[in-house]
Amino acid sequence: MPLVDIDLIIGGPQGGGIDSAAQIVIRAFSIAGYEAYGIREYYSNIKGRHSYFHVRVKDSPVRSLRYPVDLLVCLDYESPFVHMEDVSEKTKVLYDEDLVNTKIEQVLTMEPETKKHIIEKLRQSGFETTLAGAVNYMKKKGATPYPVSFRNLVVAALGPSKPPARYANTLGASLAMALMGLPSEFTSRGIESVFGKKKEVLEDNEKIVKSGYDFVRTHNSVNVNELPVRPAKEKYILTGNEAIGIGKVIGGLKLQTYYPITPAADESFFLEGHDYFEPVMGEDIDVENEVLKNMGVVVVQAEDEIAAIAMAISGAMTGTRTATGTSGPGFSLMAEALGYAGINEVPVVVTLYQRGGPSTGLPTRNSQADLMFAINAGHGEFPKIVYSSGDVPEAIDDAVRVFNYAEKFQVPVIHILDKNFANSFFLVDDLDYSKIKIERWKMGENSENFERFKLTEDGISPMGMFGKNIIWLTGDEHSELGHITEDPETRDAMMVKRMTKLETILKEIPEEEQVEFIGDKKADVTLLSWGSNKGVILSVFDKLRAEGVKANLVYVKLMNPFPAELVKRYLSTSKTIIDLENNYTGQLATLVRQNCLIEIDNFILKYNGRHTTDDEVYEGIKRILEKKENKVVMVRGA
């Protein structure tokens, strides 16, 4: 059992420094030798709407979150209302006492539906609809409230000339870490790590840290045991977006196109901000590798998603490793061009970050509902690879792999991810590039009659590119030379040639890169899942194993072509199979039914857009094993 295991929520207004506060917490605990993991939840609003960061700190590896939280830090008047169900008897609630008389009706940034539900709960419990009522509601659930005047603490530390709102995030983080027992020196180092070495900023924040720690130290009702300092080593703090960007650069990315869309755009912004990646990748890279010698990446913001994928396809036609990044609505616009890449066998990569749909849907919330769409995107039939990742270490490797797959098999590859992965913060040990293989295509011999689409047994033709070969690429059916034709025999031959690649892909991609089998070979329960659910499932397995319940995970990465025989082999000995996904219909289970003829009857699903947590998954598994339900819908999250 871990000696330290703390879940923390920092809530406040969008644009109010919530990310910075969470970064301070994660970095400070990392410097003190602890592990941390966090997810950012936010509205599609530039400034004002409620956002929060859910962070978990442990003295052992952490890969998931849980409710109820141990500490709730409310930086505004909305957070106590929104998070009053996220607490229990173990929770400390830190809030601004100057706001206690704020009525929920005055919270203009809250959605009417949310406000209505909260008012009903408060009134049913006999509490007034004020912030004080929300605090009392949490107190009734067993939580311990800690009122503090943010204004008074900031003024006491910095004087009346500095605006208190500017320092609410660092004060909140400082108070949180003081309440958790982290020595103040590590909070100060965390702040320095986030804000750099600007003298005035650091001097002000040092005073803020002292003010926060002094308050906790002198507050009569606070009893804090100082946490032990652990051996520490330098780690990377990476989001999922950043991991994909790093993997792409390692894999030889030269051209990235995009049109801004949440949550995909952060990857391209990250690439734009690191010209040659020395600060991220270090100096221990195999510089003898031709791909890595000149790591400059051209990042282009196109006028729309149609232009973005057209540019990426054009770049790939020249032999350049290119990719485009997008989310659901943007991917919808890319479908026609994806077919162009398919018929011309262009090795382009599309990084698809899923978010809540349909249409604009939930622009900043999580989903895994685009799986079937990705597999079937583009009219007609053509081979494509759809490949999934779920955590930072594998995502870096996979970002290289999908480039290799695209070139080796001459197909478009859709690297499908989800918002939870994109907006999660992971602590990662030294990045190991030694096992990453960058595989480049073998060029065909140049000639005036270059058979770019030569018929072959495995469906893979000699590779040609603009600037080096004389080749013909159109959007029409074509001969081996690429000339347009409607000849039925040629059409049949070309269709067979292209679709044969699906068999070749399944034969040549190693099994361990198609599906991961994790856990006990003979288990009481088998979880079937994909994407960012991997971490939370494995965390729950630790708890089940402690109770004597054996469990395993069939974690599918290659979604198309679907590895039916491999999945069937892993599922064939399962006693109870549970499909866990963040969509309504259980799309991976549908693929299993279609391809393996295995009917899955048990589901744990979540589609409200919020992150999946340990407690939800654990409770869902237990309810299914106890035969209470066969479909559990997870609903937690603010």
- CA distances for 236 relative to 31, 36, 99, 395, 558, angstroms: 11, 11, 38, 14, 28
The enclosing H or E element of 64 equals none
pLDDT (0 to 100) of residue 281:
43
Residue type, 63: R
Torsion of CA 12, 13, 15, 20, to 10 degrees: 0
Reading the block at residue 265, the tokens are: 């755009």
Reading the block at residue 623, the tokens are: 């309810």
Average pLDDT for the chain? 92
Contacts of residue 163, Cβ cutoff 8 Å, sequence gap at least 6: none
DSSP 444: P
Residue type, 624: I
Spans in the chain with pLDDT lower than 70: 1-2, 220-223, 275-295, 442
β-strands 413-418, 515-519: how paired? unpaired
Report whether 422 contacts 240 (CB < 8 A).
Answer: yes
Contacts of residue 209, Cβ cutoff 8 Å, sequence gap at least 6: 170, 174, 184, 187, 188, 191
C-alpha span between 336 and 350 (Å, rounded): 13
CA 6, distance to chain mean position in Å, is 21
Residue with tokens 């480049």: 440
Q: What is the DSSP string of 168-223?
A: HHHHHHHHHHHHHT--HHHHHHHHHHHHTT-HHHHHHHHHHHHHHHHHHHH-TT--
Report whether 41 contacts 637 (CB < 8 A).
Answer: yes
Q: Is 57 helix (H, G, I), strand (E, B) or coil?
A: strand
CA 48, distance to chain mean position in Å, is 24
Report whether 26 contacts 237 (CB < 8 A).
Answer: yes
Looking at domain 237-428, its CATH superfamily turns out to be Thiamin diphosphate (ThDP)-binding fold, Pyr/PP domains (3.40.50.970)
| Ranges in the chain annotated CATH 3.40.50.920 | 512-633
β-strands 236-239, 424-428: how paired? antiparallel
Reading the block at residue 339, the tokens are: 């077919």
Contacts of residue 275, Cβ cutoff 8 Å, sequence gap at least 6: 296, 297
CATH architecture, domain defined by 512-633:
3-Layer(aba) Sandwich (3.40)
CATH topology of domain 5-218: Pyruvate-ferredoxin Oxidoreductase; domain 3 (3.40.920)
pTM of the model: 0.94
Question: pLDDT of 220-240, one tens digit each?
Answer: 666 677 888 888 888 889 999
Residue 424's region, left for phi above 0, alpha for psi from -120 to 50, else beta, is: beta
Strands (E), 419-502: 424-428
- CA distances for 272 relative to 203, 262, 277, 294, 481, angstroms: 31, 16, 10, 16, 39
Reading the block at residue 294, the tokens are: 């000149």
| Ranges in the chain annotated CATH 3.40.920.10 | 5-218
Handedness of CA 439, 445, 449, 453 (dihedral sign): negative
| Ranges in the chain annotated CATH 3.40.50.970 | 237-428
Handedness of CA 627, 630, 634, 635 (dihedral sign): negative
Reading the block at residue 546, the tokens are: 């402690």
